[in-house]
Amino acid sequence: MTSATSKKLIYGLILLVLIQATLLPLGVHTVQAYKAGVAGSVEVKIEKIEDVNSLITQVLGVLQFILFAIAGIFIVIAGYSYLTAQGDADKTANARNMIMYAIIAVGIGLLATFLSVLVQNLLKST
């Protein structure tokens, strides 16, 4: 293995570890919400506004879990593609784009959760 290939391998592994370390707490939070019953429940009775808030929270919890799981899988696949690109510019660019899109997806998921909490708080205050 050449020195340039070794450097790319090390940088790729560091990048993969940093991204996974960033996403791990998000996944843990989602799993904790799922275990606490905030996400994953199927019984739905809508009689007042608190029931709508509960339904929104449950649906978003499930979608958030799915989103973070898929984003994590894409990041692992992109990291593997990046490590096995062996200097091929197209493969490296494709792997970087996959990582970027996965991070954007996580950002959108977090923004959706934030907006959901914001709307719920506005509905509670009225």
Percent of the chain that is helix, strand, coil (3-state, to 5): 85, 0, 15
Which region among 3-7, 34-38, 66-70 has the lowest average model confidence (pLDDT)? 34-38
Which region among 31-45, 46-60, 73-87, 100-114 has the lowest average model confidence (pLDDT)? 31-45
Please give the average per-residue pLDDT across 98-123, as a whole number.
85
Report pLDDT digits (tens) over 22-60: 666 666 666 666 666 655 555 556 667 667 767 777 777
CA dihedral 53, 56, 62, 68 (to 10 degrees): -100
| pTM, rounded to two decimals | 0.56
CA dist 32 and 46 (Å) reads 25
CA dihedral 10, 13, 15, 19 (to 10 degrees): -160
- Picking from 76, 70, 83, 66, the residue whose alpha carbon sits closest to that of residue 99 is 76
- Picking from 45, 40, 77, 76, the residue whose alpha carbon sits closest to that of residue 59 is 40
